[in-house]
Amino acid sequence: MPQNIDLKEIHKFAQMAQEWWDPNGKCKPLHIINPLRLNYIQTQCGDISNKLVLDVGCGGGILSESLAKLGAQVIGLDMAQASLEVAQHHAQQNGLVIEYIKSSIEDYTNNTDKQFDIITCMELLEHVPDPQSIITACAKLLKPNGRLFLSTINRNQKAKLLLIYGAEYITRILPKDTHDFNRFIRPSELMRLIEQANLQISDIIGIEYHLLKNQFTLSQNVDVNYIVVASKIA
């Protein structure tokens, strides 16, 4: 088995492939949260046109396409072939040039000489055995002063209640068994992993979901979902 992947997780997301671009399907939360993430990336990086961007764990390409529409040169990595096929087909339908590659970030790092201005890794760390391996590989691919965006889920009882019991079993806005609580990552743990990869933490922001409004907002509250931005010092 290739290093640092969970075949059950890959199969799970491959099974969802045909629903990636259904805004009312299993990927509905991703469509709702995507504009918020995109705006946050722009706020942190400024104009991203002509920037070289790597989207790690790109799935069906929801974030990849949004970045490409802003003029970025985007490469998307994923291990689920079915998801990549959906992503490529959707990009072609929309006249977007995005390079999608079936590869782990570790293997890609060992087989490229590219260096990236921006790397995004959204909701992937909690689905792999070794998050440190991914962060270290991303760090090697960043240009000096490049930015790495990591989003994941805090490991506490509030997150368990809201994301597993609430989102998966009660409201069912997420498919059952989407998450494994034991793989959630506390912010202090993630920051330590980032520092061990010789990156500097630039920002940390929480994301809150408002059920009645059906929308996400940025927040200083990192109890559940959160994003950490790390920079590679020149």
Say whether 60 counts as a known binding-site residue.
no
Matching residue, tokens 């995005």: 98
> Amino acid identity, residue 96?
L
Please enumerate, as own/partner, the contacts of 207-213 that have beta carbons within 8 Å and a separation of 24 or more.
207/33, 207/36, 207/151, 209/29, 209/162, 211/171
Say whether 117 counts as a known binding-site residue.
no
C-alpha of 211 from chain center: 22
CB contact set of 40 (below 8 Å; sequence gap of 6+): 149, 205, 218, 227
Q: 225-231 and 142-153: which strand pairing?
A: antiparallel
Query: Whole-angstrom Cα distance, residue 164 to residue 167?
Result: 6
Matching residue, tokens 């989102």: 167
Matching residue, tokens 């743990």: 189
98: exposed, middle or buried (Cβ count in 10 Å: 0-12, 13-18, 19+): buried
Residue 128 corresponds to which tokens in the numbers above? 């792999």
Closest CA to 212 of 171, 175, 178: 171
Q: Which residues does the annotation place in the binding site?
A: 37, 57, 78, 122
Q: Which residues does the annotation place in the binding site for S-adenosyl-L-methionine?
A: 37, 57, 78, 122
